[in-house]
Amino acid sequence: MKKDNSLFLIDLLKVSAALLIILHHLSSYGQIAVDAKLALPMLMEYLYEYGRYAVQIFLVMAGYLATQSLMQLPNNQFNANLALRIIINRYLRLFAPYSVALVFTIACAWIARFWVNDEFVGEQETLAQFVAHLFFLQGILGLDSISAGVWYVAIDWQLYSVLAILLMSFSSYQALVWLLSIVSISSLLYFNRSSQYEAYFIYFLGAYSLGMLAYLAKNYSDHQVKNLAKLLLFGLGVVIAVSSFQELWARNVLAWCVALVLYIWGNTTYPAIRADDSIFKKITLQAIAWASPRSYCAFLIHFAFILLANTIYIATGLYVHAHAMMAISLMILVVITSVIASNYLYRWIELPSAKLKI
């Protein structure tokens, strides 16, 4: 169990969102997704259509946690060297487990190509494509993604970098909050509705800023800034609600709901475990506490196991019988192996690499 000052809601959202993304990708790629749908058509369709919305949970949480970590920056005295150091350190923080997972996925895709003739496996990766991924440029350069979900890592780095620069550039957080709220409206109502901006931070800034506003509205020490953030958080909710009458964008509604939940319960710590508590409660809390720091690694590594699961399914000839229960069993195996692999990726790569700073 984590220490009492750990945030239970944050950990719960991390684990839930990571699991939803894994299940969404399982329902989207390969023959096992097709055959599993024969046994569980409604569930598989639901995961395929709505599982992707878990990204909104990640974005809002990222804005909330980034604001928390960056609030110590000196404002009104922009320092290019400090800004560059923060941006590079964030890159290094994301890079180590990301690059290892990328290489592992390339190896699994190479194996898969011997048996799996499916678009999701992709063509043989090029050196330029790999290098672009290492620098989070694949989306901007219009290159095919090597692994599902790696685009999010690039976007997270863009958003964090922009927020760090802005927090250092404004003498008044009131002005910054106003600016980000106005830009967020344009992001939610315009940029977020056009796929041509998907590779850039502006496409996702609306959800990210909702997380920032939720943190400031709940935790900032200056009451004027705190009240303004609260006002704008609810103001953006009104904008999203009104715009929904013209066209409902469920992801924007979800993002605001997640921000509201963080505003109300964001500082909730883990409940104390008493001797008379049920075994189920104890195991659940311990599982969430254990899985939360490993959720990023699970997010990175799971697509490789989807490739391997489909390879096994095709290579052994099971797909010929459209064996739904076998496909579902392989999906469960993907989740289990992703969790196990994430533990080693976290312990052997992510934790040691946390010392990589300039």
**Annotated domain spans of the chain:** 8-353
pTM above 0.85, yes or no: yes
Whole-angstrom Cα distance, residue 162 to residue 160?
Answer: 6
Torsional sign, CA 283, 285, 286, 288: positive
CB atoms within 10 A of CB 202: 17
Q: Which pLDDT does position 76 carry in this prediction? A: 59
Q: Mean per-residue pLDDT for 265-289?
A: 92
Judged by DSSP in three states, 200 sits in coil
Q: Dump pLDDT digits (tens) for 174-206.
A: 999 999 999 999 999 999 999 999 999 999 999
- On the question of pLDDT at 74 being above 80, the answer is no
CB atoms within 10 A of CB 276: 5
- What band does 3 get if pLDDT is binned at 50, 70 and 90? very low
Query: Which alpha helices (H) appear in 113-222, and where do they start and end?
Result: 127-134, 150-169, 173-189, 205-219
